[in-house]
Structure 1
């Protein structure tokens, strides 16, 4: 089954605008700024929107503070979020007050306190804490289907019906496992393998090497969606930036696949869109 290109103009335009302001922040007066804090296994991303929920700035940094969707380096997470916050404040000339954050599906009762304290410890007023699929759907705006978030440590799946999440799952397979496979195949350290993976010029070469682990991700997706009337899969998450991953997944699960222009930024933007001025 081939991948599909569906008319998600809002999603792709928002991501495109965000990429532009990451390179050149918009310095203008806004009554309020809303920040989305995405604590990922591989990256921490901050997305800043203005009073009209339009992107004005953003930043991200590689980090090892989260493992399998759980915060494992609490102080390190606070430090990085605080540094990114200060960096963005200097760029747009204001203090960022309000922030929202998100957790992988199925981990809310386990790690919501840690996420909350990281965001607050970095100097934000936390206004909302939600699950990542709901955040992503604020950007995707789908009514029916499955959102699959392939991150650094886990693959999260959320099935939506009539715009509501009716099922969630999260399993430990993601970009970290891709890097381990590359390290073994190329006799590289894990960090070098991770860097190698991120360079788009290596993606075509890496697909055959990574096919077994991509097919494992596909089998995880298939196992969770097969009992539901899912007609289309929507891929988000940094690991989905690997060119061609969607084609391998589509062939394994025999469902149409949609992947945004830059799936890494869908969830952090969705988190920011859920930010308000009402403090938790």
Structure 2
């Protein structure tokens, strides 16, 4: 059974509070682990049976691009480091985890990384469908804007009825910022994460409109009444208004967009 929007946002705030916190805690009980292999970062999250976050660790890295592993050894090393940190925090041994992949890409790319890192993969589900499974949704589209691609899952009565993924994501916004400002790609990426007084939204708007075109194509012909946004790109202030204007539908942005998919992966039911 999915969780309410309010409940999920509360869980995300808690996940953000403990993000990269290595202080040991005493925990005895069942737990579930999710690993999100993103284009710009890798996140490992551990939750209890009620999806309450127990540990969450993030490392910025570009080891996966558009569903393709570009640094396999680097990805494995990161997963091992994050597992070690979670084990130390909780005082447990982590031997299995769930993971995800962009729709339309080969899920074995994700499972191979986890298995090489010494984990048994218990679930592998495409990214927007993970979020759809976490939330109690009907006639809704979950849009996961990753670094290189945008994935959409359409849900009806809690079941995924459509899922697809197309190029264009946060990396493209970074490239626009770099081109407009003369910054290096890495400098533009950091500026995008901490916009300060820069009007990043104006620079990002053409790319966001292209993403809206992609989503519009995905949801065309389906009964969709609302859109849920996920992924780090959705941290951009004002993105909700852009999607509402372009698609003419109510749009929801979670309290911590970067952590929604990791939470959803960790909360997948065990096989």
TM-score (norm: length of structure 1): 0.90
Structure with the higher helix share, 1 or 2: 1
Root-mean-square deviation (Å)? 1.7
Q: Alpha-carbon deviations, 1:102-160, whole Å to 9, x = none?
A: 111122xxx22221121111122211111112211233221221000001111001111
Pick closer, same or farther for the CA change 1:23–1:118 going to 2, 3 Å: closer
1:136 — aligned with what? 131
Runs of 5+ unmatched residues, structure 2: none
Structure 1 stretch 54-63 or stretch 181-190: which is displaced more?
54-63
Following TM superposition, where does structure 1 have runs of at least 4 consecutive aligned residues deviating by more than 3 angstroms? 23-26
Q: Alpha-carbon deviations, 1:215-236, whole Å to 9, x = none?
A: 1111111122121121111100
Q: Distance in 1 between matches of 2:206 and 2:126?
A: 29
TM-score (norm: length of structure 2): 0.93
Please state whether the residue corresponding to 2:103 is helix, strand or coil.
Answer: coil
Q: Distance in 2 between matches of 1:207 and 1:101?
A: 31
Pick closer, same or farther for the CA change 1:15–1:192 going to 2, 3 Å: same
Runs of 5+ unmatched residues, structure 1: 1-6
Within a 5 Å distance, the mapping from 1:54-69 to structure 2 comes to: 54-69=52-67
Conserved? CA contact 1:26–1:57, under 8 Å: no
Conserved? CA contact 2:143–2:150, under 8 Å: yes
Within a 5 Å distance, the mapping from 1:88-127 to structure 2 comes to: 88-107=86-105, 111-127=106-122
Pick closer, same or farther for the CA change 1:202–1:77 going to 2, 3 Å: farther
Query: In the alignment, which of 248, 256, 259 is matched to residue 254 of structure 1?
Result: 248
1:53 — aligned with what? 51
Within a 5 Å distance, the mapping from 1:88-237 to structure 2 comes to: 88-107=86-105, 111-202=106-197, 205-237=199-231
Conserved? CA contact 1:41–1:68, under 8 Å: yes
Conserved? CA contact 1:98–1:124, under 8 Å: yes
Please state whether the residue corresponding to 2:27 is helix, strand or coil.
Answer: coil
